[in-house]
A and B are shown apart, each in its own frame.
Chain A
Amino acid sequence: MHRNLTFALVAATIALLTSCSPSRDDPPNEAKQEAVATIAWIRGEGRAAVAVHDTARSLISAEITVSSCDAAVDALDRTSTPVAVVETITKVPNADLRAALEEEQGLFRAVVSDTTRGRPSEPDAGVDQLRIVADAVTALIRHLEELAR
């Protein structure tokens, strides 16, 4: 997946530079409403799910070690439960953010589990993938915030 992602990102960047992106000045009503609902969700019911995103971001910003993973898990246990987060994610109004949060949660779990148990990561589930998806979640949230204004 890593190679696929890299290729896709390079291709998309080129595409972005050579074409016009849709104007964000006047988003369609439905898209704006969904963005407003999604941002409201992030600040309300979905706060715990986004806490996983924040934790994942903190984890990958430094070297990933057993102790940093332990700390991340302890921090999460103080704020949420995995089942509640997963169920909450299913209610995200925006489908792209929903898919990205699901993926981030799965990769976070795989990276932490593999690290704390001293196992090599699966080819599709390493820290590089987690970083890409965490960046995607951050960008999506920013995009939705803009849309919701």
Chain B
Amino acid sequence: MRSFMVAVCVLSLLSAPESAAAQPAPTRTWLVLGDSYSSGEGVQNTATPSEHQPPESGERVRDCRRADGTEGNASSWAPTAYRMVAAELRVSRMDFLACTGAISDEIPGQIAEARKRFGVDKWDIVTFSVGGNNIRFADIIKDCIGIRLTWRAFVDQPVGCKITTDQLRARVDVLAGRAGITQDQYRGETTLPQIYKKVAEHVKPGGHVIVLGYPNIIEDTAEWPLMSIPPWLVKVRKFSCGLFLRNDVPLLRAGATYLNQRIQDVVREADLKHEDAGIRFDFLDISQKPYEDPSTGRHSICTDDPWLHGVKIDGEVPDLYFKKSFHPNQSGYDATGKVLADHLRARLKADEVVRSCPLVGFTPNSDDSAFEISSAGVPCDEVESMLREARRTTGFSNSFRVNGFDCRVTGVNTEGMITRIFRCGKDRSWFTFHRE
């Protein structure tokens, strides 16, 4: 019944005098969330800490290391990709909230900060990487290589990784929501499925969420450059590289692979879950392209041309800054930005711009101001025609077919407020409308 009322409401307003086609082409907005791999940790010239103070940080000014590409700041992958596709895909703005050290629990805070700072509630594109800090991956690496400030501390501990493969996989399973949280093994109180759901609430119908994975930190030992023994320069295998021991590399690489696989699984589930609302989730595996790709070469630590820092220190004792270690350098961020740009072109070009049809189905002055219609690949006049036909034939039910469109209706209950989402498609074109 409520659906029918919606239809009546919509159709009573179909006599809009202006043609939607006359409207200027709408543009997309882009929100950048995530952790240090998204913020740009590892490059020089990031925004000064005082410019970015997440709401949850209280009085403490937190240095998010945001390489947002503005005002002389360096560019992490998102601003690099933005520059490459902004004109082509009509992306009008990028809101950059990623922050070094962030765990999944901080994503809602980043969204809140974005809403407050930019006065926007929903975006067309959301990109981020998150989860590595939940499973304490940086600590795992540090334990493997034994970063210490004195030689005494350095050699007084067992060499090599302290964590086992099973323990590492167990942490990843928690992150993916496959196992309960154990506080000593996991940072935070949220898992990826919960966070992806939260993100989806701030994506426009027809929008895209792109989740980036993590690169392999260190090169496969089979690919390590050989060591030359002089004076005749015999080539021999190495026992260690940087501070990494050969025997630890399989664990670290398998851990990164498992982490990426599990993130991909959760992304796939989120895509299925939110597809009806017109929101697509994609996973971008950067461990292969660009970091270990035949066309661009191999670029982990211990390659001839690393795009990741090994141990890297800024500052002087006692204010040493280690966080750049094991993060991409500018070449790594640039290459990742290019991969992301290619991905966005492939995904968004096919859909074309999601267009709001403001004069179809409702007017801003109506009582149904929460009613939204957007169209991907369907001209607004066709949307209008389809809705007229719908009224004459069926009204709206859970699923209906009219004017060549197959429509499905789903309901989402958010804190007692029912949102009905209508998604109608014909060939590969579709449009979405929903109301609360």
Contact = CB atoms under 8 A, between A and B. Distances in A.
Specify whether A and B are partners: yes
Interface of A: 1, 4-5, 8-9, 11-13, 15-16, 21, 69, 73-74, 76-77, 80-84, 86-87, 90, 95-96, 99-100, 102-103, 105-107, 109-110, 112-114, 116-117, 122, 124-125, 129, 132-133, 136, 139-140, 143
B151 A139 contact: no
A15 B231 CA distance: 12
B227 A100 contact: yes
Given A8-B234, A8-B236, A102 B241 contact: yes
B149 A124 contact: no
A4 to B, nearest CB: 6
B155 A81 contact: no
Interface of B: 146-152, 154-159, 225, 227-243, 245-247, 304, 310-313, 317, 320, 322
A99 B150 contact: no
Given A83-B149, A113-B158, A113-B159, A102 B311 contact: no
Nearest to A106: B240
Contacts of B312: 87
A103 B239 CA distance: 7
B373 to A, nearest CB: 56
Given A81-B151, A83-B311, A109-B159, A100 B236 contact: no
A110 B231 contact: no
A87 B154 CA distance: 15
Contacts of A9: 229, 234
Given A83-B313, A87-B311, A73 B239 contact: no
A1 B156 contact: no
Contacts of B152: 73-74, 77
17 contacts: A5-B236, A12-B229, A69-B155, A73-B152, A81-B149, A82-B243, A87-B311, A90-B242, A95-B304, A96-B228, A102-B240, A105-B240, A109-B154, A113-B156, A117-B158, A133-B227, A143-B230
